[in-house]
Amino acid sequence: MGYVELDMDLSKEVVAMLKEVKKFAMDVVRPAGIDLDRLQDPADVSAPGSVLWDVHRAFRELNLHQIGIPAELGGMGDDIDPKFKHLMAEVIGYGDAGLAVSLGVSINPFRVAAMSQDPALQQLARDFCNDTSGEMIGCWAITEPTHGSDYIMAMDPTFSDPQCGPDLIAELKGDEYILNGQKSAWVSNGTIATHATVHVGLQPSKGMHGAGLAVVPLDLPGISKGKPLDKIGQRALNQGEIFFEDVKLPKQCMVVPDSRMMVPLAKAILTGANTGMGTVFVGLAQAAFDEALNYAKQRIQGGMPIFEHNNIKLQLFNMFRKVEAARALARRVSLYNSINQPGAAQYAVAAKVTSTRAAFEVASEAITIFGGNGLAREYVIEKMFRDARASLVEDGENNALSIAASHELK
């Protein structure tokens, strides 16, 4: 990456670990993302033999999937430097943002399982930490066909209206919950996941305030999946529907069975997800800038590299400024929120909105510098532009997120 590292207090250990992550990002993630993006059928992205599985296996071989899981369950626990967590996400986002999201989400249900005191769920977390072959894949099943931003707004008092309640309902019967409903096509890792963190409605009369949270093995009878979503950006990121029909879920798998806990937890989830997104898309913004800078030094117009023209220099500097501003905010927010749980939601959303807008604007400006070549699939910048555009509505549309976070400004 062609920039000066302004964080001067990185430990030797962190620097050494980041060196390995950068190699992974550029040697494995970047080429895989390009190859997967070019596949016409999104089902081929996750087909047997796909390079997607090489990415997941390489991620596991570095033990990066153990981050966020307690040491007593086989994870890295508190031994990992908080700075490494967000720098890792930034670097992998630089390689490919969609795959960075896939790798991050793949850990989600196992981290939630680690929160439980139930021995079976704790063993699930242990098994995941020991899985270096990529056989166990997680997804985060929250969005529904008629509920996207509703979940983001769950902490708003007005979203206790029954009309805003979840579509997927879990009804307790004896020692089991019976699940009926659907999650939408936007579930990341949805059609490849073996386990899911699932948001359910426990008390429909309370709207979004009547929700619960479960860890669900996706091989249970009654669970089926739709076809992978075909989309313009982040095509390397598998997404798809999950259907639940009279699914019998053991009672202990409902990690949050008390809906009163879900309002503060929804805020914590909003904070964590947006903190991560802000970091990943700084990586994409930097990647788009680097592509433009390198091209400007090579492309000859007027008898000289276009970098020598002042208008191009000005354009590149403004792009550089946006990247560095987004990076400074995302890193500061990530470090603060990792140390001060559950974190500050308004800052997390500000980081996500700032970083994704920077990625989109910088990628768009990069295409201008590339000229006609910026529209050709021969150059990775057009893919980065499409990936960046997807981020503006990913994990919450930016305006909806901003409205939700604005309540924290009072």
Provide the phi-psi class of 140: left if phi over 0, else alpha when psi is between -120 and 50, else beta.
beta
Assess whether pLDDT exceeds 90 at residue 158. Answer: no
Residues 67, 111: contact at Cβ < 8 Å?
A: no
- The residues near 217 (Cβ < 8 Å, ≥ 6 apart) are 194, 195, 253
Third-level CATH fold of 139-262? Butyryl-CoA Dehydrogenase, subunit A; domain 2 (2.40.110)
pTM assigned to the model: 0.95
CATH superfamily placement of domain 12-130: Acyl-CoA dehydrogenase/oxidase, N-terminal domain (1.10.540.10)
Q: Counting Cβ atoms within 10 Å, is residue 160 exposed (0-12), middle (13-18) or buried (19+)?
A: middle
Predicted local distance difference test score (pLDDT) of residue 182: 97
Q: Radius of gyration over alpha carbons of the chain, in Å?
A: 21
Residue 304 φ then ψ, to 5°: -155, 160
User: Which among 202, 179, 178, 180 is positioned nearest to 258, based on CA atoms?
Assistant: 202
Q: What is the mean pLDDT of residues 384-397?
A: 95
Residues 335, 83: contact at Cβ < 8 Å?
A: yes
Predicted local distance difference test score (pLDDT) of residue 35: 98
Residues 235, 32: contact at Cβ < 8 Å?
A: no
Assess whether pLDDT exceeds 50 at residue 92. Answer: yes
What does the pLDDT look like over 188-246, one tens digit per residue? 999 999 999 999 999 988 888 889 999 999 999 999 999 999 999 999 999 999 999 99
Which DSSP string do the residues of 166-206 spell out, in sequence order?
Answer: -SSEEEEETTEEEEEEEE-TT-BTTTT-SEEEEEEES-GGG
Assess whether pLDDT exceeds 90 at residue 259. Answer: no
Third-level CATH fold of 263-409? Butyryl-CoA Dehydrogenase, subunit A; domain 3 (1.20.140)
pLDDT band at 1 (very low <50, low <70, confident <90, very high): very low
Assess whether pLDDT exceeds 70 at residue 2. Answer: no
Assess whether pLDDT exceeds 70 at residue 155. Answer: no
- Tell me the average pLDDT of the chain: 94
Crossing angle of helices 97-105 and 82-95, in 10° steps, is: 130
Assess whether pLDDT exceeds 90 at residue 408. Answer: no
Domain ranges of the chain: 12-130, 139-262, 263-409
What does the pLDDT look like over 264-295, one tens digit per residue? 888 888 899 999 999 999 999 999 999 999 99
Instruction: Determine the Cα–Cα distance for residues 82 and 377; give it in Å rounded to an integer.
Output: 37
| 3-class state of residue 227 by DSSP | coil
